[in-house]
Amino acid sequence: MNPKQFISRRLRLNLSKFLQMRLNSWLIRFLPFFLSRCYLIALGRLYYFFNRKEKQLIKQTITYVWSEKLTASELRRMVRKTFKGIFDHYHEKLFLAYSPFNRVKKFLGKRLRFEGEEALQQALAAGKGAILATGHFGAVEFLPAALAFKGYKVAIICRFQTSRLRDTLVERAGQVDLEVIDADRGNCLLAALKALKQGKIIITESDEFDEWKAKDDYQISFLGAWLDYDRSLDILSKRSGSPVVSALVSRHGKGYALQLTPITLKSSTETRMGEKCLAVLENMLQACPTQWYQWKKFGKMISPYLENIAPAVKPSLAPARFTLRHAH
């Protein structure tokens, strides 16, 4: 295979698999943090140079949501920063998985601070574990390790793009008694309920749109779109009786802040936990929109509407501008 064919074949991978190529995981072990970040950003730009439709979808989605609030130059800056945020996410993922273990532990201990930790402690005091609802935002990859390094018993539901990444993270998780629940293997709900019964913290993402099992009998507003509501978090909360806390890790210069927000701190059968958690995420996006890396999947959800927008027309931000029926 000649170099041109090799590059072409690699660029047909999705962004996650492209950036997780074996060479990259090897380089992460040795390069300083800032150098490996620059390297991943350069690779990410190369990927989007050849995958322009995907890049355009992200740009179009950002423009749809923010064009009424920002000038054209501000929108361009937001788009650039958003792509850097996407590359930062994958850099943090690889750093967590492949950098020396002690280096990762020292890095997080020095750079990541907790805000609102008392909310988590109060939730755990109920004796039924705790559900931590996070999102595809900021340095979410650091969340499980940051909690485990502080002595919390944690279980996380996740799906892996490569078997190599899965094996590496499962091995590392064992060093800090962190349970990994592979979404592609077995019954996730039963595994999560078992972890909560053991008093663990279960981490799940409330904006995993392509995994939503939505019904059209109730809708929620998110970033101006009306979406059929997914009740997965409600079911987990109701069946376990566990308190729910929102957990978002934002970037601040060279540091990170884990912000914990109580949703319900006592054993509760309240409904629409997912809606409340998405509201917290949406509020965070108003302050830090460039740290969300779910624009592509969100864009796919609203693509029927985006396709009907003329390029020169600025879309309205009226709350009920359209209703989206999510495909089952």
Distance from C-alpha of 259 to C-alpha of 324, rounded to nearest angstrom: 31
Shared domain for 17 and 51, answered yes or no, is yes
For 169, the domain range is: 111-290
Residues 229 and 210 grouped into a single domain: yes
Q: Is residue 53 part of a domain?
A: yes
* For residues 155-159, average pLDDT: 85
- pLDDT the model gives residue 271: 66
- pLDDT grade for 9, boundaries at 50, 70 and 90: low
Same domain for 167 and 134? yes
Specify whether 95 is located in the same domain as 116: no
Same domain assignment for residues 118 and 216: yes
- Neighbouring residues of 33: CB distance < 8 A, sequence distance ≥ 6: 95, 107
Task: Classify residue 149: in a domain, yes or no.
Answer: yes
Q: Which residues contact 158 (CB under 8 A, 6 or more apart)?
A: 180, 181, 182, 183
Using an 8 Å Cβ cutoff, are 66 and 58 in contact?
A: no
Same domain, 154 and 281: yes
The answer to the question of residue 179 being in a domain is yes
Q: Distance between CA 9 and CA 322 in Å, rounded?
A: 39
pLDDT band at 184 (very low <50, low <70, confident <90, very high): confident
Q: Are residues 163 and 49 in the same domain?
A: no
User: What is the predicted pLDDT for the residue at 12?
Assistant: 64
Note whether 263 and 302 are same-domain residues: no
**Residue 180 and residue 278 in one domain:** yes
- Considering the domain architecture, whether residues 117 and 261 belong to the same structural domain is answered as yes
Any domain includes 174 = yes
298, part of any domain: yes
172/97 Cα distance (integer angstroms) = 8
Q: Letter for the amino acid at 291?
A: Q
Q: Are residues 15 and 122 in the same domain?
A: no
pTM of the predicted model as reported, rounded to 2 decimal places: 0.86
Q: What is the mean pLDDT of residues 232-240?
A: 92
Structural tokens at position 119: 């909310």
| Residue 105 domain flag | no
CA-nearest of 203, 231, 197 to 126 is: 197
Per-residue pLDDT band for 10 (boundaries 50, 70, 90) equals low
Q: How far apart are the first and last CA of the chain?
A: 41
Instruction: Please give the tally of structural domains in the chain.
Output: 2
Lowest mean pLDDT among 109-113, 174-178, 294-298, 319-323: 319-323
Bigger pLDDT: 61 vs 187: 61
- Number of Cβ within a 10 Å radius of residue 144: 25
Give me the pLDDT at residue 304, please. 74
Amino acid at 52: R
Lowest mean pLDDT across 79-88, 94-103, 214-223, 282-291: 214-223
**Whole-angstrom distance, CA of residue 296 vs CA of residue 155:** 27
Report the distance separating Cα 20 and Cα 23, nearest Å: 8
Q: Are residue 280 and residue 306 in the same domain, yes or no?
A: no
Tell me: pLDDT of 116 over 60.
yes
> Where does the chain have alpha helices with state H?
3-11, 15-19, 22-28, 33-50, 52-66, 72-98, 101-111, 117-124, 143-149, 163-175, 188-197, 232-240, 273-287, 295-301, 303-306
User: Does any domain span residue 328?
Assistant: no
pLDDT band at 193, cuts 50/70/90? very high
190 occurs within a structural domain? yes
